[in-house]
Chains A and B, each alone.
Chain A
Amino acid sequence: NAGVTQTPKFRVLKTGQSMTLLCAQDMNHEYMYWYRQDPGMGLRLIHYSVGEGTTAKGEVPDGYNVSRLKKQNFLLGLESAAPSQTSVYFCASSYGLAGTKIDTQYFGPGTRLTVL
């Protein structure tokens, strides 16, 4: 049981390049989330999904797109990377259904992205 995994762990992009970050979970969770973490600003929600085929905007969605084609995967895309998107990106997931731990979010190990 790997929990929540993220690919890649590190990436350096040039301004204007595109890339996709992959999040995968093997806990059969309904809900998945993408956050970015910047110094002094905590974790800010980018986009999230409450089920396969659904997505919704979070606090800072501009410049990002997401897709949830399979329940276990949640992809975060940057179409045209900008230096302001330099950050550590965390994926998380939670059950989302009735249960004793419906709200607990489990985080992946993070992806450190640098945009030059």
Chain B
Amino acid sequence: GENVEQHPSTLSVQEGDSAVIKCTYSDSASNYFPWYKQELGKRPQLIIDIRSNVGEKKDQRIAVTLNKTAKHFSLHITETQPEDSAVYFCAASRGTGTASKLTFGTGTRLQVTL
């Protein structure tokens, strides 16, 4: 089955700096890669996703890049703010039907300090 590895497990940045979280996946048939943000005691919420036919996607301060050849994808957060502090999870899936199940990374705890 799919295996998703995520690094680093913890990340501390100063407000205004950039943060990068990296994930690798094992299943070359995976074609959907979402990123979820989970604040303390809350549910995971989708912040951005990318599909295998796209190399990069951006939404304001958040961007995701995908390298299918190397089987890795990354989350980039620019101009970090205290409200970006949370745990971030990457995930991968092969598509729809029984293949729609997501395999998650183990999470990155991002701390944005003032």
Contacts and interface: CB of A to CB of B under 8 A. Distances in A.
Contact of A40 (B98, B100, B106): B106
A102 interface: yes
Contacts of B55: none
A41 B106 contact: yes
Q: How large is the interface on A (under 10, 10 to 19, 20 to 34, 35 or more residues)?
A: 20 to 34
Nearest to A40: B106
Interface string A74-96: 00000000000000001000101
Contacts of B100: 31, 48, 50, 94, 96, 103
Which of A58, A59, A103 lies at the interface centre, i.e. has the most chain B CB atoms within 10 A of its CB? A103
Interface of B: 1, 6, 9, 32, 34, 36, 42-46, 49, 89, 93, 95-98, 100-107
19 contacts: A42-B6, A42-B104, A42-B105, A43-B104, A44-B104, A50-B98, A58-B101, A59-B103, A90-B44, A96-B97, A96-B100, A102-B96, A103-B49, A103-B93, A103-B95, A104-B34, A107-B43, A107-B44, A109-B42
Query: 7 closest Cβ contacts across the A-B interface?
Result: A107-B43, A42-B104, A42-B106, A43-B104, A103-B32, A107-B44, A42-B107
